[in-house]
Structure 1
């Protein structure tokens, strides 16, 4: 699998497919953010987006899957003061970039819980890209690090 365009791998981690493993992944990303000197806004955007994406993978990605779950997260330094986090899993094919935005409710009472993760990612990220490579989903989250040290 190729790195994001002109990216340099900073760090990578493999995590399990349990809800508790999401905290391990976001904590790892927080350490990377500190080591790389990302501004708080970049760290928040990527941690929130990773948490949302991983929650979907862990909750739904392995239903009906035939192989043991495998999740890898890679972090890349990109040109033009940007950073990419790529989530790779061997779950069932799912492209979150094709998810339409939820309808805006008429009132708070009409609001539905859930279904807003992809919308949050689109709001906080520069780019949200998906590819299916062989038996793996690859979701790449890209954010700028203006004001930070990367």
Structure 2
């Protein structure tokens, strides 16, 4: 497979994550991704995007999210850039696992999922933008 790059620019609305996931699913079908890659990348993208939409922006702030998907023979990387409040998820601690569902507390479990399924998570803050990259070494099916 040759190198491919796809991009999507989104304004932040109630349907931002849904629109991004439709875009990602379209690429997965177009490029014949494995079921595992499709599942893990969409799950992690959904988690990251919903957290950004829910927590990164203050009312009245001109909010934007830019997605860039890069594919090579060996890996697929989803770069998520947003102009919200600075937040580095790679430095956040995952909460301890609860002994039961009754003991479980909200928060931090999506980050645990991303760390489990992605081969790499990287973050930078540049020029007022958060830059989060989710990388999987699982290449699309040929």
Shared fold per TM-score greater than 0.5: yes
Local SS of the residue matching 2:15: helix
Q: Could you say what the CA RMSD is over the residues aligned between the two structures, in angstroms? A: 1.9
> What is the rounded CA distance, in whole Å, between the counterparts of 1:85 and 1:58 in structure 2?
17
Local SS of the residue matching 2:33: coil
TM-score, normalization: structure 1?
0.86
Runs (4 or more) in structure 1 with deviation over 4 Å come to none
Quick check: 1:77 aligned with 2:71? yes
Out of 22, 28, 45, the position equivalent to 1:27 is: 22
Q: CA deviation at 1:83?
A: 0.6
Aligned length: 141
- For 1:56, the equivalent position in structure 2 comes to 51
> What is the rounded CA distance, in whole Å, between the counterparts of 1:63 and 1:102 in structure 2?
26
TM-score, normalization: structure 2?
0.90
> What is the rounded CA distance, in whole Å, between the counterparts of 1:63 and 1:147 in structure 2?
38
Contact 2:44 2:114 in 1 (8 A): yes
Q: CA deviation at 1:146?
A: 4.3
Q: CA deviation at 1:147?
A: 6.5
Contact 1:9 1:74 in 2 (8 A): no
Contact 1:14 1:71 in 2 (8 A): yes
- For 1:5, the equivalent position in structure 2 comes to none
Quick check: 1:135 aligned with 2:118? no
> What is the rounded CA distance, in whole Å, between the counterparts of 1:74 and 1:17 in structure 2?
16
> What is the rounded CA distance, in whole Å, between the counterparts of 1:147 and 1:54 in structure 2?
22
- For 1:111, the equivalent position in structure 2 comes to 104
